[in-house]
Chains A and B, each alone.
Chain A
């Protein structure tokens, strides 16, 4: 596995999770299997284990995010790791400020692992090249968001047992979506078939080499899919001339009550959140029994626990994870 793109497990620490690119089915399944263990911890009265006691996880967010950061921090604390955080909205971070300097400063606080988010593709990869610490990519521009893809796979697998042979439609702003890029790779690695559904302007300029098919209309395929993955659409796409209006987008692609009713009863509806109600999905559809949007949020913490545990190692073999000791803690 490439150290630059995949997860390294050569010893206790220093490995990275930079993207789904470079991971194969067994790499992904190893994480999902371990996630089962941590999901169980999350259901305990005191959902905390000492696995990473004494280790420090730093969240380094150069782009605004609340949910992803909270999810990583919750995961770290459930493993008894300490957390430090650095955040700079792109607006407050003056152009030209050296990210390398920032990373060195954060590392000097004793961090063992950096969770990095940035508005530009490749930044987590660059950070990984500058430091001996483990790096987890929490979203790099339009490139990848690997823990999101892992939690999505986990959520689908939890409901359906396996992704093998499933037909999953990813709908919306695929062009600008790191979630879509990671999920195309992850879903197909686990045996699913992926169809991208979007107006032509919201597709990547080239999908040469992508293991997908493309559709420009949602309605004709609604009854023929096992899962519908809705992406966020941002109003900037209108000023960029990619779509005429949110109203027109919603009329073609919003998952309304009538559209969700046309889906198979065992089909799933996913969304990385936060949802724009009435644009990507209606309130009725979001509360439909097919919707697993809240499961995604819950599973996000468990998946991130598994990732942190794998990378920081804690000096144990993966097969001998002793996650059984709950500790009294700072709940």
Chain B
């Protein structure tokens, strides 16, 4: 059964053209041309056909916290958001710090609607003390290591992990990526939102921007020392962006992501005392939001990520200090990036698709130009459709979206994963 996407405008890393796309039964693009017709024709008129999105930062909660999300439900939300690949964070229970858990995540991912790219922790149990068996994990196909949820505090151990990672690139076939959640815990401890004017007024203990910036500064120095590839997760402050810009100008092998919430929301949102706005790193100020947008525009920040972090409803009905940090992101990312980043559509797609695909090491199958023979991982986007965000209506098992009730512009119409339509007309099929 052949499927053709008709009447759309292709935008990929090669540029822009108005052509139909025929999906082959082998999971690849069979043909690209005009006037194509298949057994099934999906309407793409008025829409953009893009390589599927790649999220560098998703918490899918499985194994261990299946009441909040599973790999299947997380992937379904990803598909609804235009994603065809999700990089799964390793702060699972048990921690993804050994080959067995990696294989479990990959196997569960194989039955989901996205490609699930397992990452592994840098240290055992994310304890920040003992290095995980990185060689074994690399041999099992892991290309990204992170203790996300916390930063790796010990500079000596971070140096050693960086050095060790540089010796594993040949086995992986590309440089190993170390992804850091930059936060000096001694400085952020006890804080539940950004420290500043709003935290002072609200009486909520804050985390200073410097808790992030000190670790960005340290890791840039250690990259200079070791040559390891360091990926900065969820940059949130103006100074962090400036330091990464400087590191790139100096030719250091660093990359960076920013989340949708860090360029669309500020710490003022915490005035509601609703922990749906509690996230680490915390929502910052207008100045920081502007700096993130500038970093996205000038290439300092390579990718828009979600830091999709589902939490069961009762976990967000706790006092602000007791509620866990994190918010949903997969189903709102495209509309927010299109509507609020200040970037035009091709730049938005680069930040959601082919640039993160390159960092994740999956550029051969995600984010690739839409040409015959390329893997058919793609999405069809209606940049003009408006819709109202509803956490309850999302595919996620959780509903902790900070955008509840907001009307957004730009929606995913269809998503194709390995040649198979998994979202059609905005509805998940699987």
Q: Assess the B200–A206 pair: CB atoms within 8 A.
A: yes
A interface secondary structure, majority: loop
Set of chain A residues within 8 Å of B315, measured between Cβ atoms: 96
- Are A205 and B200 CB-contacts (below 8 A) given A121-B273, A126-B274? yes
Per-position 1/0 for A75-107, Cβ under 8 A of B: 000000000000000000001101110000000
Specify which chain B residues have a CB less than 8 angstroms from the CB of A100 in the assembled complex. Answer: 314, 317
Please determine whether A121 and B322 come into contact, CB atoms closer than 8 angstroms. Answer: no
B203 on interface, CB distance cutoff 8 Å: yes
**Chain A residues with CB under 8 A of B195:** 205-206
Task: Determine the distance from Cα of A122 to Cα of B199 in the docked complex, in whole angstroms.
Answer: 11
Looking at the complex, which one of B200, B206, B314 makes contact with A207 (CB distance below 8 Å)?
A: B200
The B-contacting residues of A in range 1-22, CB under 8 angstroms, are 4
- A181 with B273: CB separation less than 8 A: no
Report chain A residues within 8 Å CB of B40. Answer: none
A45 to chain B, nearest CB (A): 42
Mask for A90-134, Cβ within 8 A of B = 1, else 0? Answer: 000001101110000000000000000011111101100010000
Report yes or no: B204 in contact with A122, Cβ–Cβ below 8 A: yes
Hey, which chain B residues are within 8 Å of A98, CB to CB?
A: 314, 317-318
Report B257-275 CB contacts with A as 1/0, cut-off 8 Å. Answer: 0000000000000001110
A interface size (C-beta, 8 A): 29
Interface residues of B in 189-215 (CB under 8 A from A): 195-197, 199-206, 208
Identify B204's interface contact among A4, A118, A121, A209, CB under 8 A. A121
Q: Give B268 Cβ to nearest chain A Cβ, in Å.
A: 12
Residue of B nearest to A140 (CB): B203
Report B-chain residues with C-beta under 8 Å of the C-beta of A123: 273, 319-320
A142 contacts the other chain (CB 8 A): yes
Contact A143–B318 (Cβ < 8 Å):
no
Q: Mark B17-55, 1 if CB is under 8 A from A, else 0.
A: 000000000000000000000000000000000000000
A120 touches B320 (CB 8 A): yes
> Known interface pairs A95-B322, A120-B319. Does A126 touch B200 (Cβ–Cβ under 8 Å)?
no
Looking at the complex, which one of A126, A181, A205 makes contact with B319 (CB distance below 8 Å)? A126
Asked if B197 contacts A208 (CB within 8 A), the reply is yes
Q: Which A residues are in CB contact (< 8 Å) with B321?
A: 119-120, 141
CA A95 to CA B203, docked complex, whole Å? 20
Residue A244 is within 8 A (CB to CB) of chain B in the complex: no
Closest 3 interchain pairs by CB? A122-B273, A143-B203, A204-B200
Can you list 12 A-B contacts with CB-CB less than 8 angstroms, sorted by A residue number? Answer: A95-B322, A96-B318, A100-B314, A120-B322, A121-B203, A121-B273, A122-B203, A123-B273, A205-B199, A205-B208, A206-B199, A209-B197
